[in-house]
Chains A and B, each alone.
Chain A
Amino acid sequence: MLKTFKKGGVHPPENKLSAQSTLERLPLPEMVYIPISQHIGSAAEPVVQKGDTVKVGTLIAKQNGLFSANIHSSVSGTVQKIDEIIDSSGFRRKAIIIQVEGDQWEETIDQSNTIVRDIPSDPKEIVQKITSAGIVGLGGATFPTHIKLSIPDGKKAEILIINGVECEPYLTSDHRLMLEKGLEILIGTQILMKALNVHRASIGIENNKKDAIKHLIELSKDFPGINVVALKVKYPQGAEKQLIKAIINREVPSGKLPIDVGAVVQNVGTAFAVYEAVQKNKPLFERVVTITGKNLSKPSNLVVRIGTPIRKLIDFAGGLPDNTAKIINGGPMMGKAVCDIDVPVTKGTSGIVILSEKDAVRLPVQNCIRCAKCVSACPMGLEPYLLMTFGAKQMWSEAETNKVVDCIECGSCSFVCPANRPLLDYIRLGKLTVGKIIRTRKS
Chain B
Amino acid sequence: MSSIVIFSAITLIIIGVVAAVMLYYAAQKFKVYEDPRIDQVEALLPQANCGGCGYPGCRGFAEALVKADDISNMLCPPGGSDVMKAIAEILGQSVTQTAPMIAVVRCNGTPENRPTTSIYQGASNCTIAHSLYKGESDCAYGCLGLGDCIAACKFDAIFIDQATKLPLVIEDKCVACGACVKACPRGIIEMRKKGPKNRRIYISCVNCDKGAIAKKACNVACIACVKCAKVCPHEAITIQNNLAYIDDNKCKLCRKCVEECPTLAIVELNFPPRKKTPESETTLSEN
Taking Cβ atoms with an 8 Å cutoff, the residues of A that contact B are 86, 89-92, 336-337, 339, 361-362, 392, 422, 425-426, 428-429, 432
Residue from B131, B133, B138 in contact with A428 in the complex, judged by beta carbons closer than 8 Å? B131
In the bound complex, how far is the Cα of B136 from the Cα of A337, in angstroms? 13
Please classify how large the interface on chain B is, using the bins under 10, 10 to 19, 20 to 34, 35 or more: 10 to 19
Output the least CB separation between A287 and chain B (Å): 23
Q: Inside 8 A of B122's CB, which chain A residues have their CB?
A: 362, 422, 425
With contacts A422-B123, A425-B122 known, is A90 near B128, CB below 8 A?
A: no
Give the residue of A89, A92, A362, A392 whose beta carbon is less than 8 angstroms from that of B133.
A89
B40 within 8 A of A: no
Residues from chain B with a CB closer than 8 A to the CB of A90 are 118, 133-135, 138, 140
Give complex CA distance A160, B138 in Å. Answer: 44
Q: How far is the CB of B213 from chain A (nearest CB, A)?
A: 8
Query: Complex: how many Å from CA A392 to CA B122?
Result: 13
State whether A429 and B133 are in contact (beta carbons under 8 Å apart), knowing that A92-B209, A339-B117, A339-B118 are contacts in the complex: no
Contact call B134/A339, Cβ cutoff below 8 A: yes
A residues less than 8 Å from B135 (CB atoms) = 90
Q: Which residues of A contact B131 (CB under 8 A)?
A: 428-429, 432
Is residue B49 within 8 Å, beta carbon to beta carbon, of the partner chain?
A: no
Determine the residue in chain A with the shortest Cβ distance to B131. A432
| Given A361-B121, A429-B127, 19 extra CB contacts under 8 A | A86-B134, A89-B133, A90-B118, A90-B133, A90-B138, A91-B140, A92-B209, A336-B132, A336-B133, A362-B122, A425-B123, A425-B125, A425-B128, A426-B123, A426-B128, A428-B128, A428-B131, A429-B123, A429-B125
Tell me whether B128 and A429 are in contact (CB under 8 A).
yes
Question: Please, which residues of chain B bring their CB within 8 A of the CB of A362?
Answer: 121-122
Instruction: Give A373 Cβ to nearest chain B Cβ, in Å.
Output: 19
CB pair A426–B121 under 8 Å, yes or no, is no
**Smallest Cβ distance from A328 to chain B, in angstroms?**
12
A339 CA / B138 CA spacing, docked (Å): 9
A339 to B122, CA, bound (A): 14
Assembled-state Cα–Cα distance A92/B131 (Å): 14
Closest to B121 in A: A362
Cα distance, A429 to B124, chains bound together (Å): 12
Pull 17 A–B residue pairs with CB atoms less than 8 Å apart, ordered by A.
A89-B133, A90-B138, A90-B140, A92-B209, A336-B132, A336-B133, A339-B134, A362-B122, A422-B122, A426-B123, A426-B125, A426-B128, A428-B131, A429-B123, A429-B125, A429-B131, A432-B131
Contacts of B213 in A (CB 8 A): 92
A residues near B127, Cβ cutoff 8 Å: 429
CB closest chain-A residue, reference B183: A394
Name, among A339, A361, A426, A428, the residue most crowded by chain B CB atoms within 10 Å (CB to CB).
A339
| A428 partner residues in chain B, CB cutoff 8 A | 128, 131
| Complex: A320 Cα to B203 Cα, angstroms | 41
**How distant is B218 from chain A, measured CB to nearest CB, in Å?**
14
Contacts of B125 in A (CB 8 A): 392, 425-426, 429
How far is the CB of B257 from the nearest CB of chain A, in Å? 27
Residues in chain B near residue A337, CB distance under 8 A = 133
A394 to B138, CA, bound (A): 29
Interchain residue pairs A-B with the least CB separation, the first 7: A90-B134, A425-B123, A422-B123, A362-B121, A89-B133, A90-B133, A339-B118
Q: How far is the CA of A337 from the CA of B133 in the complex (A)?
A: 9
Q: Which residues of chain A are near B123, meaning CB under 8 Å?
A: 422, 425-426, 429
Complex CA–CA separation, A133 to B131 (angstroms): 31
Binary per-residue interface labels of chain B (155-177) against chain A in the complex, 1 for a CB within 8 Å, 0 otherwise: 00000000000000000000000
In the assembled complex, the Cα of A226 lies from the Cα of B122 at a distance in Å of 43
**Residues of B contacting A339 in the complex (Cβ-Cβ under 8 angstroms):** 117-118, 133-134
